[in-house]
Amino acid sequence: MSRQAFLALIVAAALAISAALYLSAQRNLQRDAHGGALLPALAGELNTVTALSVRRGSAAPTVTVHEKDGRWTVAERGDYPADVAKLRKLLLALGDAKIVEEKTSNPANFVSIGVEDPSLPAATGAEISVTARDGKHAVIIGKPAGEGNFARRSDENSSYTIEPGISFETEPRFWIDSRLLDVAVAGIQRIEVKPTAGPAYTVHRAAGATAAAGTTGASAAGIAGSGTVGAAASKTAGSAGSGTVASGATGSTSSGTAAAPKSEDKFVLDGVPPGRKAADSVQLSPSPTAFSGLTADDVTPVGDVDFSKATVATVTLSDGNAITMTGAVVGDKHWVQLKASKDAALDAKAAGRAFDIAGYRYDEIFRPLEQLLVPKQTPAAKKESASATAGGSSRHPAASPALSPNKKPVPAPTS
């Protein structure tokens, strides 16, 4: 064998060995990647996390949830308290995410699976960055893939499919602690409403009040007997009245009649316009969902909302706590301010802030007076009622057949 042939054989052998080593390394890499953690170090650092940020279509985070003064807050909402349960769920999902399969490493293909640069305005994926004791862990979560997502570590070109799927919100309003109030109807003693326009009114609880629907004019205030609304707020509504109805209500009192059976507390209306009647107690009673489980869709500094033409509702509870709610509708948003006389935690949470609540909840809280009155009769209904009354009074008994005008009465037979 010539020297040149021998050298050529050695070179060919070296290339073959190199190719074999490369293929082996790639197989090992794929084997290591499959089933491996997307963020291997994060699982052990979950208890040291101090911040989580999300960004999509922006160079800066669109959401930042961080620990501040011993509590988790949303930076983009004036450090309003964050939904800790939602934060914990996302952190656990990131720690549990496993690689299913390696995908493209070509940046030109990233857009198709949603793992492109998250700062691009049209980015479909979003970057989640977690700050822990050992540093930052950042990953771009892309489009859904099977039961999971496409994903790419922010400092790498390799992309993967991962499971289980990771879902999260990219807007700050979805990260706030949405809980506001949880007041049951049973704890409400009085609701005073002062609308932007029109007369104010008060709905208050009174023990055994059964004549509210028939009360007209200012006499409604006397239904409880004592004539003061404060009696209900101070837990003395049950002693008001001694079972009589105010003299202006029906033109008479219950004296001299059988005592009505004791009934459960009902709501009565103060401030009934002259000539009108209050609705029944069931309709006057606050909706069970008006103040129970009330949540906020968003929060903003109170100065960002125009409350110059606001409606005010003050809810007095059985423990004496009075919650004042100031409401204003701006566009399609329904904003409220909250202030409590005996709830320091609520005051601290609501101070300087306005909350966007669902429109139907807003309408349940700030009910217009007209909803609490018996509807007015239409002209047609009034005419029909008058005709029915006139027709009834003009009827006469039919003539007896035995008293015919042409015949004398037939005498009864004698025995």
Q: Is residue 158 part of a domain?
A: yes
Query: Do 53 and 175 meet the contact criterion of CB atoms below 8 Å apart?
Result: no
Both 235 and 324 in one domain: the answer is yes
Both 140 and 195 in one domain: the answer is no
Q: Is residue 16 part of a domain?
A: no
pLDDT, position 392: 52
Q: Is residue 114 part of a domain?
A: yes
Q: Is residue 11 part of a domain?
A: no
pLDDT, position 321: 96
Total domains in the fold of the chain: 2
pLDDT, position 386: 57
pLDDT, position 170: 95
Both 360 and 225 in one domain: the answer is yes
pLDDT, position 5: 67
Residue that terminates a domain, selected from 127, 153, 175? 175
Tell me which amino acid residue 41 is.
Answer: A
Q: What is the pLDDT of residues 393-413, one digit of tens each?
A: 444 444 444 444 444 444 554
Residue that terminates a domain, selected from 369, 390, 405? 369
* pTM for this predicted structure: 0.70
Both 114 and 51 in one domain: the answer is yes
Q: Is residue 162 part of a domain?
A: yes
pLDDT, position 63: 97
Query: Do 159 and 152 meet the contact criterion of CB atoms below 8 Å apart?
Result: yes
DSSP for 336-395? EEEEESS-HHHHHHHTTEEEEE-HHHHHHHS--GGGGBPPPPPHHHHHHHHHHHHHHHT-
Both 232 and 364 in one domain: the answer is yes
Both 246 and 349 in one domain: the answer is yes
E strands within 222-306? Answer: 266-270, 294-295, 298-301
Residue (of 329, 376, 373, 375) closest to 201 by Cα position: 373
Both 189 and 168 in one domain: the answer is no
pLDDT, position 11: 65
Q: Is residue 387 part of a domain?
A: no
Query: Do 64 and 73 meet the contact criterion of CB atoms below 8 Å apart?
Result: no
pLDDT, position 16: 67
Both 96 and 203 in one domain: the answer is no
pLDDT, position 260: 35
Domain range holding 322? 180-252+260-369
Residue 299 and residue 80: Cα distance in Å, rounded?
Answer: 8
Sheet holding 322-330, edge to edge: 266-270, 201-206, 188-194, 311-317, 322-330, 333-340, 353-357, 298-301
Both 202 and 271 in one domain: the answer is yes
Both 196 and 214 in one domain: the answer is yes
Q: Is residue 403 part of a domain?
A: no
Q: Which residue has the tokens 């950042």?
A: 138
Residue that terminates a domain, selected from 155, 175, 195? 175
Q: Is residue 393 part of a domain?
A: no
User: Is residue 164 reached through a cis peptide bond, with omega within 30 degrees of 0 on the bond before it?
Assistant: yes
Q: What is the CA radius of gyration of the chain?
A: 38
pLDDT, position 18: 63
Both 356 and 343 in one domain: the answer is yes
Both 235 and 264 in one domain: the answer is yes
For the chain, residues with pLDDT lower than 50 are: 28-32, 209-263, 393-410, 413-415
